[in-house]
Structure 1
């Protein structure tokens, strides 16, 4: 059952739990004004004991550097707690931004949230973040 955790005029965040993953769906603009709300919402889920996240970005219409910063901030906190984080439904435009910033190779990215949640999460999957293990 999807639960809304942030509602703003240009953005909404909701979550659902699937196969041990907390799927956080962001819908709208992720910018200097909304990024702090997203960060606080996910940190609140961490306080509740959730550790394994899928960021579903399929409905993100715009993301600036503050949006990228909130992904990094969330990742750091999840990593500190031996959790895991991946992304799903990333648009080609956002994927290009992740590639240009060097963030693309640091995250597992799935075509859909359903693909991301097929396997149960692995604790500590961010142990080598921000540098993925090679080969």
Structure 2
């Protein structure tokens, strides 16, 4: 089971916090959330993975799809605070170049 907390900061950055296992079932919901944010012109999005205990290929696909969609609209999707399990998956799939982890949600767009 997974829950998602979604908010938009005062600076217009969308923050999505998956809490639990980001697997095939949850990936569909994440795609919907990201599409909704982009549809509302929120094109800078941080996915806070600090409470994500598991990530599979479907979850990775949803994140990569979010990167593509936000970049097409002139924005970007960044990840913050990945757990050790998530970091391992990112390293094994060589996606650390595309989804470079940030230390915190607050500093994800500071560069």
Same structural fold, with TM-score higher than 0.5 when normalized by the shorter chain: yes
- CA distance in structure 1 between the aligned counterparts of 2:8 and 2:54, rounded to whole angstroms: 25
Report deviation, 1:87: 0.7
2:57 to 65, 74, 86: 65
Give the total of aligned pairs.
Answer: 110
1:84 corresponds to 2:76: yes
Corresponding residue of 2:4: 13
Q: Of the two, which has the highest radius of gyration? A: 1
- CA distance in structure 2 between the aligned counterparts of 1:86 and 1:16, rounded to whole angstroms: 15
| Structure 2: runs of 5 or more not aligned | none
The TM-score normalised by the length of structure 1 is 0.74
Cα deviation 1:71-126 (Å, max 9, x = unaligned): 11111111111111111011122112111111101233212212325x3x8xxxxx
1:27 corresponds to 2:22: no
Report deviation, 1:64: 1.1
Report deviation, 1:41: 1.2
The TM-score normalised by the length of structure 2 is 0.89
Stretches of 4+ aligned residues off by more than 3 angstroms: none
